[in-house]
Structure 1
């Protein structure tokens, strides 16, 4: 018997996230587990008069394919897929990898080949399709969260079905304030960073492109970032878990970078010129996500957090930075993580993870939950 929460999640994805209409094509891509949700999405897509298409990816096989890939092979994939994506109107990605370190030993140069060749298609998808990315509750995710499988499933569905309409309304005053802001200052343990967001658009994320959701993002003026930032959550990228990441900036560029894997960190940041500049600054507010679980779809939405992203900027909040890298690094500013402050043009807007600006109190956890 189908878990009714899966049916509700499918409904939300089709109606709220990708807003699927009759006659539209939707690609449903399952990366690992998640077949039950995919099946329900197919059923509901047909009921809406749309045309569902499904790809099921085994991540161990994907690893084997990537280990010895080449630019020529990636070129074949690009030529085959380009016409298909031109016909798609929506894209739903269900990430349910049984082992999220499956790709950890794929050489960086092999990853870069795939990323560089496929970048035009990925850019087309993010710019022109209605898309959403979500994780599927797996035992490995429950283990990372230090929860039982059933307990994590309960947590997952609570997080994914939060009242996003209420959240979006609460975001509007912050969006207005960010539109009027020039200088941002981030302060905390090992962190004193300044940058400008003047003239850069900002985007509310309340259940459309990511599930779970709960952030507002913009980007710094590319050359304006100055100072040092230290991240207090683990960050997984290219299959490696990084901790104690510390970045120092001069005129927007990362000039020093250290972590538990300093050499590999710098190897990624040297992927291309844009990887040492920042493409995104975002503030997280999801009231049900309080602690990191080494899953960026959850961690970047943590209440009382922000993330700062080396690499590619989003088209909707574009500072001109281009890169094959887009690496969200998270800092939590609640007291149990060391505290911290966010200042806009010399005015304190958030302290120790709670908004103190009168217009923004609706974004605090107690108000988003009630």
Structure 2
């Protein structure tokens, strides 16, 4: 991972002079130079870096011999006092490569639970995917394609992104409602009354670049068209129209998709998010939501949980659908038109 991109990421994440920053690094020693470059970038800003490495091999060795006395409250109390956590992972966090006996694994699982409970008490918590072949597995993309797409999505001007998101938030915040027009004649109406737009321009999940809101859960009505709909573990669906009534997805025009929709519990069918991609270096859809929802000039809606960002719906999933369309803002009796 290029040091210049790492410098951009560290700055955009909000690191400032005088802060205490923990680099929480999921990776083996073969990738430790990446962690070291984060430490360098943090130090260059004038902040104080700390490193906690979570390698699968090391954690297996440690927890194969550890007992209940290890990792007591003093350890976790110390970890909750940083200004920010940069959670950097070269592969899927938490999982181990080898099986261990049940009692030892339960100790490891307890450690992980206490670990994250402590880390999220810090002022900021940012997750950063390193473009590696191991992380490509989650995406379903060819490793070389994944690495190229992630690297390109990271290599942007974050000051420009932040300013673009702020301007868009200001514009959208004037509206109490919004109409989304897609396909030939699909119209979806959102009630945004009392809800706040949020910006992801570097202090959340990376790659970044979106603005989003939790619409009133029971008020979304109409239909929405997707030229191509990607649903992980279910497939790719073409020319899909979703019907939404009372804030819930109730039906689609695709007979192959409807069985999946039929498996969802009521809370998991709620349209919980409306967002717009803002990252200028993501220019085509690939089926990997982490990238697709940040693509410039796209919209996305999600079904499931939104209590994390100002909504009221608690659910077991948060599933994003990305498309293109035209929006109309409903503000003070006027209508403004724009393309997404």
Compute the TM-score of the two structures, normalised by the length of structure 2: 0.71
Q: CA deviation at 1:156?
A: 3.8
Aligned counterpart in structure 2 of residue 41 of structure 1, from 33, 38, 42 = 38
* 1:202 partnered with 2:177: no
Question: What are the residue-to-residue correspondences of 1:253-332 with 2, within 5 Å?
Answer: 253-256=248-251, 260=256, 262-267=258-263, 269-270=264-265, 273-313=266-306, 315=308, 317-331=309-323
- Give the drift of 1:223: 1.2
**Distance across 2 between alignment mates of 1:236 and 1:198:** 30
Matched, 1:341 2:326: yes
Tell me which structure has the larger Cα radius of gyration.
Answer: 2
Residue pairs, 1:177-256, within 5 angstroms:
177-189=171-183, 191-237=186-232, 240-244=233-237, 246-256=241-251
Deviation track 1:255-275 (CA, whole Å, cap 9, x = no partner) reads 3366745444443x32xx532
Residue number in structure 2 paired with 1:350: 338
**CA distance in structure 2 between the aligned counterparts of 1:232 and 1:20, rounded to whole angstroms:** 43
Cα drift, residue 134 of structure 1: 3.1
| d(CA) in 2 for partners of 1:233, 1:54 | 40
Partner of 1:16: 12
After superposition, what is the alpha-carbon deviation per residue over 1:55-106, rounded to whole angstroms, capped at 9, x for unaligned?
A: 2358xx9xxxxxxxxxxxxxxx9x99975763454333345459xxxxxxxx
Q: How does 1:83-232 map to 2 (within 5 A)?
A: 86-97=80-91, 125=120, 129-139=123-133, 141=136, 149=144, 153=147, 156-189=150-183, 191-232=186-227
Unaligned runs of 5+ in 2: 61-70, 93-108
Greater CA drift, 175-184 or 16-25: 16-25
Cα distance between partner residues in 1 of 2:219 and 2:177: 9
1:228/1:320 Cα in 2 relative to 1: closer, same or farther (>3 Å)?
A: same
Residue 328 of structure 1: SS of its match in structure 2? strand
Rounded Cα–Cα distance in structure 2 between residues aligned with 1:215 and 1:262? 29
Inter-partner Cα distance in structure 2 for 1:347 and 1:92: 42
> Of Structure 1 and Structure 2, which has the larger fraction of its residues in helix?
1
* Partner residue, 1:108: none
Give 2:104's aligned residue.
none
Q: Secondary structure at the match of 2:26?
A: strand
Please report the RMSD computed on the Cα atoms of aligned residues, expressed in angstroms.
Answer: 4.0
Q: Distance in 2 between matches of 1:176 and 1:294?
A: 30
Match of 1:111 in 2: none
User: Cα–Cα, structure 1 residues 124 and 30, in superposed 2: closer, same or farther, change >3 Å?
Assistant: closer
Asked whether 1:55 is paired with 2:51, we answer no
- Helix, strand or coil for the counterpart of 2:48? coil
CA contact (8 A) 2:303 2:319 kept: yes
Distance 1:133 1:243 in 2: 27
| Alpha-carbon distance in structure 1 between the residues aligned to 2:226 and 2:31 | 31
Residues 316-350 of structure 1 deviation map (CA, whole Å, 9 limit, x = unaligned): x412222232222211x2xxxxxx31111263432
Contact 2:186–2:224 under 8 Å retained in 1: yes
Q: Is the 8 A contact 1:296 1:328 kept in 2?
A: yes
Q: Distance in 1 between matches of 2:32 and 2:314?
A: 35
Whole-Å separation in 2 of the counterparts to 1:44 and 1:138: 20
User: Is the Cα–Cα contact under 8 Å of residues 31 and 93 in structure 1 kept in the other structure?
Assistant: no
Aligned residues: 297
CA distance in 2, matches of 1:50, 1:228: 49
Q: Post-superposition shift, 1:54? A: 2.2
Shift of 1:182: 1.6
2: CA distance, partners of 1:178 / 1:160: 26
Gaps of 5+ in 1: 62-76, 99-113, 334-339, 354-370
Contact 2:251–2:258 (CA under 8 A) maintained in structure 1 = no
| Distance in 2 of aligned mates of 1:10 and 1:139 | 18
**Displacement after TM superposition at 1:282 (Å):** 0.6
How far 1:193 sits from its partner (Å)?
0.9
* Distance of 1:342 and 1:144 partners within structure 2: 31
